[in-house]
């Protein structure tokens, strides 16, 4: 084998390697672009879903107006009206699609929603506490946390406002 044959073989090998590397790079870049496009699509859907969920939760929050510390003397009288608003939000407004958790587990947003919607009581403290738990679960779901101390202080403040005695 002479030097020219060796050079031709070397050049062919080099060209083949360059073509293979280029083809591999093009395929890898194409795959990367496809995966990136998929990820961006998923993220935009997730962002859209999250925006819709937050808007729905804002509507749910509006339902709580009749049972708040703002008007403690009206809590018992407003219970049925508020529960009707919850029912409407859940089905008519489609809000039930966004509630997370299981209805059978006591500490989920969904179970607290049903507890408030189905509550039968004439005790303003009990009503307020059930709705407070629902509001707390909603804030937690949205990542708006409050401490246990803050929650205990809010309950005590409400008991004093209503005139609850131990």
Residue 28 lies in a domain: no
Among the listed ranges 61-70, 108-117, 127-136, which one has the minimum average pLDDT value? 61-70
Residue 4 lies in a domain: no
pLDDT of the residue at 157: 77
* Number of separate domains in the chain: 1
The whole domain housing 58 covers: 47-162
pLDDT of the residue at 46: 77
The mean pLDDT value of the chain amounts to 83
pLDDT at residue 58 is higher than 80: yes
pLDDT of the residue at 115: 96
pLDDT at residue 41 is higher than 80: no
pLDDT of the residue at 76: 93
Residue 70 lies in a domain: yes
Residue 122 lies in a domain: yes
Q: What average pLDDT does this structure show over 27-34?
A: 72
Per-residue pLDDT band for 63 (boundaries 50, 70, 90) equals: very high
Supply the pTM of this predicted model.
0.65
Q: Are 56 and 93 in contact (CB under 8 A)?
A: yes
Residue 1 lies in a domain: no
pLDDT at residue 118 is higher than 90: yes
Residue 102 lies in a domain: yes
Residue 62 lies in a domain: yes
Per-residue pLDDT band for 61 (boundaries 50, 70, 90) equals: very high
Per-residue pLDDT band for 50 (boundaries 50, 70, 90) equals: confident
pLDDT of the residue at 150: 73
pLDDT of the residue at 73: 81
Residue 2 lies in a domain: no
How far from 25 is each of 19, 28, 135, CA to CA, in Å? Answer: 10, 5, 53
Q: What average pLDDT does this structure show over 135-142?
A: 88
pLDDT of the residue at 140: 85
């Amino acid at each position: 084998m002479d030097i020219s044959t060796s050079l031709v073989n070397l050049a062919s090998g080099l060209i083949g390697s360059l073509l293979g590397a280029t083809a591999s790079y093009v395929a890898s870049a194409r795959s990367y672009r496809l995966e990136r496009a998929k990820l961006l699509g998923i993220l935009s859907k997730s962002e859209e879903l999250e925006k819709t969920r937050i808007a729905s939760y804002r509507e749910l929050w509006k339902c709580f107006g009749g049972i708040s510390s703002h008007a403690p003397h009206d809590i018992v009288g407003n219970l049925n009206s508020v529960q009707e608003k919850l029912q409407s939000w859940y089905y008519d407004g489609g809000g039930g699609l966004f509630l997370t958790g299981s209805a059978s587990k006591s500490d989920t947003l969904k179970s607290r929603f049903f507890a408030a919607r189905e509550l039968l009581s004439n005790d303003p403290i009990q009503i307020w506490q059930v709705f407070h738990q629902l509001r707390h679960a909603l804030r937690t779901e949205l990542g708006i946390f409050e401490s246990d101390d803050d929650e205990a202080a809010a309950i005590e403040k409400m008991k004093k406002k209503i005139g609850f005695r131990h």
